[in-house]
A and B are shown apart, each in its own frame.
Chain A
């Protein structure tokens, strides 16, 4: 019996025969995540139903020295849950219980396979909700959110997953079950919970999550403003922030994105406007009303051509449907697309967008933009047609756009993660010592390199012997910050 067959039997003994998948056709279901361009068939998939089972499964992999990859709903967009050939996928889909909603302490305890939206639904009876709201919230799991430190449209005001997770129960790569963090944000010693949030499943398998719940705001006010140019929409965003207003969300869509979204869901956006800006304020009613006036004035000062104010929840939901559908709707206007997730300082949004447009024109490819304007998180969608041999050109453009964001003083990724997709671009953003230090952290957790190997940090196998030269951070180049 080979090592995998042996492990298969061990895993069957832990989770029962129905919890282990080894049929090649069934394994194919797990060959990729939301970034379907990368595919690897795993040797086994295991579906544990409890923390104890996860711990036993991981311990068994550790004993056999076989790599494993945790998987939630597989909606990740960076190849984070991409299986390792000859490795095991640990699917958390059977662990979907909301274990506790505690209105007094404003928190919930959930299993990792619970969807993001299910938490807010469970909390809703108490007028509470879970703040981070990725567009994929109906399907993506809290375990995946923790791994990616996921964001959403409302993160400008409320922060990301890391600001809303109090504690994690996690299985370390040797099978030890531990709690990280605590019932209060005050814990003794280094913040291990914070380190694991955003580590893309490379440090531990999360088996329970304690999340903070927020009181639902008294009021929510939403508007959709059209602008004659993306620049004017971006300037509006800057103006609002400069006025000291912190909206819950500020989202921009360009004309291509609107076209796609309208074709898919018809939310009533203006088809021929070059840019649309969704602004949402929430909070105490009086204050919200006051600031909503301020925001409209700033829109007018920047030349808005039309403001549509959501009169009720239904209309508000419609505006958001238009925004949230933009991604998935790209299929309506292009057979294929790549999506990027780079971040630029808010003040460089205009520059970034015009450079991206020029790069698109040069490559003869269309680029649609729909993005979290308040925090400078772009989502350029490079549209292409595989059948016309545009794949490689589009991929190159897409990568160049991510790296442009770093050049402008930003980041390769705001929320989708590095995963497999951008690991080889990491040397554009980080120096050798930075990456080596991150690797030290990884090895402290996982000295044998079994936990989601090949993700986040570049490896020679993945990226070639030399992971590319380090390019100094622009602030470093300008002498503002120093490497040394």
Chain B
């Protein structure tokens, strides 16, 4: 996965710097600016393969030294951390509370800053969103060493522009996310998942029927021939809702404890992929799922490539993993499926690729109408285009 980028940097003898506080981070960014160095921002390295491959850089800035717990206020349900702290490590330090994010990369060590910069999310996204929705304050270091803060330590705050949003999905191209303040949620007393076997069209129909009832599932995902419906709440509340959901589905298996964990871990496994897989994520109107799944099937009728699709059905977030076969086949599926998604008004972000894919197909689809605006923002934030160069090519430098 990420190893390819890190290996490449190592092979090229690109020096790594590792600040351990905001001041050092600022000084290093300032130093890089003065000597005109191109910088690769690097957290745990779990998403370095997202987007287009980064071109040559002169220095790698490793954020994992920015891992301090700066302030934890359990009664306010907020926590401030260095952005290089892994979310899994942060989670362990919270008492009866959580950062309500379950992106598949978290167990691999993904950092808080990296999770914001990638706008990554897991099944819980349907209820809690991504870090864009959970971060209430951010401190960034721009390419020229400017340290800027937006938001603060309170969950409700409209003072000034919200830089968190600009950095959400920026993939390390607009500046270094150095510190983050997060909103926490209480850990649920109980959870349970109902797994309903079905094909994707029936899964979508069932999800629609379920969402029309006031049962409030926290996650609703289709994966490997099953619709997974997760509930969280009080013990008796979850039991009641599961009972109603079972009645509605007329079939399905109720999973709790280790069985429940396993089924969601399997889903995360698809999303994370393995060596040599191509993984992409798309966002579309939710009801396009059956059509997009059918299109994917049609594109992978050959024997060698196996496509696995998982989707957060209520919000139209789909992840596709391609495994096996040749780069040319992956390229054909990517190009064909992406054009279908784009034609339907959706978006596609490449998360990782089979080696050789980049020679055959572009990482990004056609540029959006906002490309000139993105370019203008890039210029204002990183005037000399030194951060993560090429990550969004050809949309911006």
Residues in chain A within 8 A of chain B (CB atoms): 103-106, 127, 148-149, 151, 155, 159-160, 162-163, 172, 176, 178-180, 182-195, 197-199, 215-218, 238, 241-242, 244-246, 283-284, 286-287, 290-291, 343-347, 372, 375-377, 409-418, 422, 426, 429-431, 433-438, 440-445, 447, 456-457, 473, 475, 480-484
Contacts and interface: CB of A to CB of B under 8 A. Distances in A.
Contacts of A103: 212
A444 B378 CA distance: 9
Contact of B189 (A244, A344, A372, A483): A244
Contacts of A241: 75, 77
Contacts of B314: 106
A14 to B, nearest CB: 22
A345 B372 CA distance: 39
A246 B189 CA distance: 13
Given A199-B161, A215-B212, A287-B236, A187 B283 contact: yes
Given A291-B234, A475-B153, A186 B317 contact: yes
B162 A290 contact: no
Contact of B346 (A184, A216, A377, A434): A184
B23 A484 contact: yes
Chain A at the B interface: mostly helix, strand, loop or mixed?
loop
Contacts of A410: 152-154, 157
A435 B158 CA distance: 14
Contact of A444 (B158, B164, B377): B377
B154 A345 contact: yes
5 contacts: A183-B316, A186-B315, A186-B347, A189-B374, A482-B23
A411 B154 contact: yes
Given A409-B152, A480-B71, 4 more contacts: A191-B166, A283-B233, A345-B154, A480-B70
Nearest to A283: B216
Nearest to B288: A183
B219 to A, nearest CB: 14
B158 A185 contact: no
Most buried by B among A179, A185, A193, A431: A185
B346 A182 contact: yes
B167 A198 contact: no
Contact of B174 (A185, A190, A412, A473): A190
Contacts of B158: 148-149, 198, 411, 413-418
A414 B237 contact: no
B325 interface: no
Nearest to A212: B315
Nearest to B181: A481
Interface residues of B, number: 97
Interface stretch (B5-13, B124-132, B250-258, B296-304): B124-132
Contacts of A436: 146, 148
Contact of A190 (B78, B155, B377): B377
A189 B391 CA distance: 10
B286 interface: yes
Interface of B: 21-23, 26, 70-71, 73, 75-78, 80, 96, 119, 121, 125, 129-130, 132-133, 139-140, 142, 146-150, 152-171, 174, 179, 185-187, 189, 208, 211-216, 233-234, 236-237, 240-241, 281-287, 314-317, 345-349, 364, 368-370, 372-374, 376-377, 379-381, 392, 395
Given A105-B286, A186-B283, A418-B160, A444 B149 contact: no
A238 B10 CA distance: 51
Contacts of A433: 146-148
Contacts of B285: 105, 183-184
Contacts of B347: 182, 184, 186-188
Nearest to A446: B376
Contacts of A345: 73, 76, 78, 153-154
Nearest to B80: A481
A393 B26 CA distance: 43
Contacts of B146: 433, 436-437
Contacts of A186: 119, 121, 281-283, 315-317, 347, 349
Going nearest first, the 9 A-B pairs with the smallest beta carbon separation are A186-B283, A194-B165, A287-B237, A184-B283, A437-B148, A184-B316, A244-B186, A218-B214, A183-B285
Contacts of B159: 411-413, 418, 422, 426, 429-430
A440 B154 contact: no
A185 B315 contact: yes
Contacts of A377: 156
B348 A188 contact: yes
B146 to A, nearest CB: 5
Given A194-B132, A481-B71, A343 B154 contact: yes
Contacts of A163: 129, 133
B395 A189 contact: yes
A194 B162 contact: yes
Contact of A185 (B129, B149, B150, B167): B129
Contacts of A442: 161
A431 B157 contact: no
Nearest to B344: A183
Nearest to A245: B186
A313 B142 CA distance: 52
Contacts of B129: 159, 163, 185
B132 A191 contact: yes
A179 B233 CA distance: 37
Contacts of B372: 176
A342 to B, nearest CB: 9
A199 B159 CA distance: 9
A215 B154 contact: no
Nearest to A482: B22
A440 B381 contact: yes
Contact of B149 (A162, A238, A431): A431
Contacts of B147: 433, 483-484
Contact of A284 (B26, B149, B241): B241
B75 A244 contact: no
Given A163-B133, A215-B213, A443 B233 contact: no
B78 to A, nearest CB: 7
B370 A195 contact: no
A377 B284 CA distance: 35
Contacts of A456: 160-161
A345 B374 CA distance: 35
B152 A411 contact: yes
B214 A216 contact: yes
A152 to B, nearest CB: 11
B75 A346 contact: yes
A49 B56 CA distance: 50
B373 A192 contact: yes
A245 B230 CA distance: 19
A294 B164 CA distance: 36
Contacts of B208: 104
Given A188-B364, A418-B160, A445 B153 contact: no
Nearest to B350: A188
Contacts of A160: 156
B109 to A, nearest CB: 23
Most buried by A among B26, B156, B163: B156
B125 A185 contact: yes
Nearest to B126: A185
A280 B340 CA distance: 45
Given A184-B283, A411-B154, A178 B189 contact: no
